[in-house]
Amino acid sequence: MPALVFDPATRDRIGASPRRAAFYCGAVESLRKSLEERGAKLVVRRGPLAVTARALARDVGAETVAFSSGYDAESTKRQRALQARLEEAGLRALAVHDAPAVAPEETAAARSADGGVGYRALVPYLSAWQESVPEPVTSRPRFVSADVSSDLPPVATEFGAVAVEEPPSEARALEALERYLAGPALLYRLERNVPGGERTSHLAADLSFGTIAARTVVAETAKRERDPFLLAEERLSLKTFRLAVAHRDFFFQLAWFFETREDAPLQQRMRGFPFVTKHASLKAWREGRTGYPLVDAGMRELRATGWMHPRVRAIAASFLCFDLGVHWRVGRDTFEGLLIEDDPALANGNWQWIAGVGADLAQFPRIYNPQKQARSYDPRGAYVRAWLPELAALPDADVLDPSAGSRRPQLALPLYDEGARYPQPVVDHGTAARAFLQRYADFTAGAKSERH
């Protein structure tokens, strides 16, 4: 019997962003309808997870309660409480790894021979992952419909959000995947870093809320890779895309096996690093007004759509952590309030990776130069122009470096027109990056001498 327990913790996370709330409620409605078409009823119960699930199981006389596992610290805590509550009542609790394509235990099995558990490094994980992909499941579960009461499913208006016009659904997500695999995915390896357009799949929210399964994305991509008419580069691109999904699984297993408090970085030695939580330019970063066009375009894309291009996420995050020295948690929380997808384990993993405090074992933080990145990946300023109308009319070179353009008299006017004003850079990137590296070197030297 399919059931949704809509508990206060889920409610808070969903409600953090109105776009997310609208997407989630749309996805629940699609699920309800598709179950109905198969003769089953989605039972909704609102209330605290453990007691509500146990009460529902009792109402229907269930012996086993299976649930889709979460991976972040908070979900793990709630699941333990759920499991304990169910087992106390004599019920079997079955946590199912539904979010990843490959369950953490599958890849960990490859390590058990050397006494290891999960993987902290991505590259060996990816090899183990490729060996562990399960065969696609073809059977469909059959459901019973019990005659029990159901609360109302959550709706967008409860969260002050407007229902999405074309609600997310399995059919729409599958169509989007099919379109993506037919064309853009064949260029993924070279184009995934170029922001704008459909160069990446935009499947993050569907994967997050389960309108498409990661297993399906992997299986369909692998099927496409077997097309004998593909060029070698196209096949390589598809493989790179498939491994992007493995990257997602990597962070799930990382959270699963290396459980830390939600806010503690994975690297012990970096726990006391003095990131700041307040900065005079934090508001400018959040609003996309730092004076660095690629960072600003990314933040405005996020505010306008609930999604930001992956490469630009890394550049905007690096700017926050290194150029401004602001704590990665502040960035994560800002993103969390704006993104549609809701994956705390992925958000934590990626933010810690960028800030150099997580799974990445790089010797030094990798600081992105936003102007160099713009020259490499948005050389004609197409992405920047799309999100920063103040710069749209400028020549290419000035879109990438507006402060240089503003120093020339013929360009001074459009930049400094009231209402169309683009700010000067809030910090000088070179100076800020050098200062950060010095603080980093001092901190790690201090940490080393404490150990000796």
Looking at the DSSP bridge assignments, the partners of residue 95 are 67
**Which of 322/335 has CB closer to ligand FAD?**
335
**Cα separation, 273 vs 270, whole angstroms:** 5
Binding status of residue 201 toward ligand FAD by CB under 6 A: yes
Binding status of residue 129 toward ligand FAD by CB under 6 A: no
Binding status of residue 172 toward ligand FAD by CB under 6 A: no
Other C-beta atoms within 10 Å of 362: how many? 8
**Cα separation, 148 vs 96, whole angstroms:** 24
**Which of 32/242 has CB closer to ligand FAD?**
242
**Cα separation, 17 vs 304, whole angstroms:** 12
Binding status of residue 355 toward ligand FAD by CB under 6 A: no
Please name the residues in contact with 408: beta carbons below 8 A apart, sequence gap of 6 or more: none
**Which of 174/244 has CB closer to ligand FAD?**
244
Binding status of residue 207 toward ligand FAD by CB under 6 A: yes
CA distances 207 to 24, 27, 231, Å, are 12, 11, 28
Binding status of residue 52 toward ligand FAD by CB under 6 A: no
The correct pick among 244, 382, 437, 447 for binding ligand FAD (CB under 6 A) is 244
Contact 119, 250 (CB under 8 A): yes
Binding status of residue 292 toward ligand FAD by CB under 6 A: no
What is the DSSP secondary structure assignment for residue 268, as one 8-state letter? G
Binding status of residue 213 toward ligand FAD by CB under 6 A: no
Binding status of residue 388 toward ligand FAD by CB under 6 A: no
- At closest approach, how far in Å is the CB of 180 from ligand FAD? 8
- At closest approach, how far in Å is the CB of 312 from ligand FAD? 9
Which residues 356-375 are close enough to bind ligand FAD by CB under 6 A? none
Binding status of residue 354 toward ligand FAD by CB under 6 A: yes
* H or E segment to which residue 109 belongs: helix 104-112
Stretch of residues binding ligand FAD (CB under 6 A), selected from 50-58, 162-170, 196-204, 283-291 = 196-204
Which residues 295-334 are close enough to bind ligand FAD by CB under 6 A? 310, 313-314, 317
Amino acid identity for residue 335 in this structure: F
- At closest approach, how far in Å is the CB of 244 from ligand FAD? 4
- Residue 104: closest CA among 80, 120, 85, 92: 120
**Which of 42/204 has CB closer to ligand FAD?**
204
Binding status of residue 220 toward ligand FAD by CB under 6 A: no
Contact 334, 323 (CB under 8 A): no
- At closest approach, how far in Å is the CB of 382 from ligand FAD? 17
DSSP-derived secondary structure for 271-332:
TT---BS--TTHHHHHHT-SS-HHHHHHHHHHHHHS---HHHHHHHHHIIIIIS-B-HHHHH
- At closest approach, how far in Å is the CB of 252 from ligand FAD? 9
- At closest approach, how far in Å is the CB of 322 from ligand FAD? 13
Binding status of residue 341 toward ligand FAD by CB under 6 A: yes
Binding status of residue 423 toward ligand FAD by CB under 6 A: no
**Which of 126/392 has CB closer to ligand FAD?**
126
- Residue 246: closest CA among 210, 209, 224, 221: 221
**Cα separation, 102 vs 133, whole angstroms:** 6
Stretch of residues binding ligand FAD (CB under 6 A), selected from 73-81, 244-252, 357-365, 381-389 = 244-252
**Which of 4/204 has CB closer to ligand FAD?**
204
**Cα separation, 416 vs 421, whole angstroms:** 5
Q: What do you get for the CA distance between the two ends of the chain, in Å? A: 59
Binding status of residue 236 toward ligand FAD by CB under 6 A: no
Please name the residues in contact with 93: beta carbons below 8 A apart, sequence gap of 6 or more: 64, 65, 67, 82, 83, 86, 87
The correct pick among 334, 350, 371, 406 for binding ligand FAD (CB under 6 A) is 350
The correct pick among 247, 303, 375, 439 for binding ligand FAD (CB under 6 A) is 247
Provide φ and ψ at 451, rounded to 5°.
Answer: -70, -30
Give the residues lining the site for ligand FAD (CB under 6 A).
192, 200-204, 207-208, 244-245, 247-248, 251, 310, 313-314, 317, 335, 339, 341, 343, 346-347, 350-351, 354
